[in-house]
Amino acid sequence: MSTKAQPKTPITAADICIITPTKGRHKQLDCLLTTLAAQTQPVGKIIIADGGGDAEALIASHQDKLPVIWLDCPQPGQILQRNYALQHLPGFARIIIYFDDDIQLTPDAVAILLAFWNAQDKAPAGVSFNITNMPKQPDNMFRHIFVMASEPRGRVWKSGYNSPVTGVKQDIQSQWLIGGATAWRRDVLENRTNEGIPSRWAITEDLMFSYPVSKSGNDLYVCAAAKVLHIDNTPTETFKAGIFRGNSAVLWRYLFVTSHSELSGIAMVWMILGQIAGRIVQGLRGRGWNFGYALGYAKGLSICALSKLTRRDIREFFD
């Protein structure tokens, strides 16, 4: 369904509602709320969608400085928690910002994004903040050969690979937006449901949601000056974790590619073969956990082949 652009009417910070899904990550959430309290333009409402049911006291400790409420979610899972929070939006909210609980904002991040939003000729469908501390993915001939080029930013290639939208040096218009640091126009979220697929790692859920929004003719942007940090406590990479993540990455990518006729399953397989080769090279250079990713990618490809041959839905194999 195409969502028509709203007339250009100024948005204020009071028109913004933030939704943050969380589960058992009190340290990260506390830091996020602290940086939200320091914003030069305070937002109208903040909803913390708690999948663990244990963050109420933490939320209460911030309510003297923030218009924040705690929402006890019946089911855990980022997508399910966001969807549940959407049912509790205040009537005044015109823009909804999704923040993951491990995001930290510079003091003027909201004000800058708001100014960018209002400066566009027509109301954007979505605008991402610029995560400035993510590892830079080099753009080289190898990546171009295997249909996973890192430049230009914000592109979705035939293989289903989405080039990065973080660490941008200037504002860009993009074909997709990240899930955990993006402002959306309210009607976009109300008219397009983000499917809550059970999985421990929904690696492409943001791509699967945002790419069709762009395909429908809506404008998506990344605002370079609206800077945030991604501060996570991801465990050290291990061989076993690499198998899981590699396998999950392939299955989710396959689901995305097969959902769009302009994308190519053959190009996706070629890309994954390139990723396997790259991981093997990294493993031989002393980073042994990369062999786990290579094995996970290979496992994922075999499952995709099984899914196609038996006509079973790839979702049946998600872990």
Token couple for 34 = 């602290």
The average pLDDT across 86-105 equals 97
What is the distance between the alpha carbons of residues 98 and 258, in angstroms, rounded to a whole number?
27
Q: Compute φ and ψ for 172, nearest 5 degrees.
A: -135, 150
Q: Homologous superfamily of 13-132+167-230 in CATH?
A: Spore Coat Polysaccharide Biosynthesis Protein SpsA; Chain A (3.90.550.10)
Burial state string for 116-134 with b = 16 or more CB within 10 A and e = fewer than 16: bbeeeeebbbbbbbbbeee
How, if at all, do strands 68-72 and 45-50 pair? Answer: parallel
Looking from the CA of 29 toward its CB, the CA atoms found within 13 Å total 26
Task: Provide the pLDDT for residue 199.
Answer: 84
The average pLDDT across 262-274 equals 98
Task: Report which of 233, 213, 206 is spatially closest to residue 82, judged by C-alpha positions.
Answer: 206
Task: Provide the pLDDT for residue 236.
Answer: 77
The residue with tokens 């996570």 is 232
Read off the pLDDT band of 48 (50, 70, 90).
Answer: very high
Q: Does the structure show a pLDDT above 50 at 106? A: yes
Q: Does the structure show a pLDDT above 70 at 47? A: yes
DSSP 317: G
The full DSSP string for 105-118 is E-TTHHHHHHHHHH
Q: Give CATH 3.90.550.10 domain extents, the chain.
A: 13-132+167-230
Q: Does the structure show a pLDDT above 70 at 6? A: no
What is the distance between the alpha carbons of residues 87 and 259, in angstroms, rounded to a whole number?
27
Q: Does the structure show a pLDDT above 80 at 11? A: yes
Cα→Cα distances 61→33, 51, 56, 66, 89, Å: 10, 19, 9, 10, 22
The average pLDDT across 111-119 equals 98
What is the distance between the alpha carbons of residues 212 and 222, in angstroms, rounded to a whole number?
17
What mean pLDDT value characterizes the chain?
Answer: 94
> Residue 125, Cα to own-chain centre: how many angstroms?
15
For 70-92, the pLDDT digits (tens) are: 999 998 888 999 999 999 999 99
Task: Provide the pLDDT for residue 22.
Answer: 96
Using DSSP's 3-state secondary structure scheme, residue 31 falls into: helix
Beta bridge partners of 220: 126
Percentage of the chain with pLDDT > 90? 88
Task: Provide the pLDDT for residue 61.
Answer: 98
Q: Compute φ and ψ for 96, nearest 5 degrees.
A: -115, 125
Task: Provide the pLDDT for residue 7.
Answer: 52
For 228-239, the pLDDT digits (tens) are: 999 987 667 899
Task: Report which of 101, 114, 103 is spatially closest to residue 14, judged by C-alpha positions.
Answer: 114
Cα→Cα distances 224→99, 148, 182, Å: 17, 23, 12
Task: Provide the pLDDT for residue 1.
Answer: 46
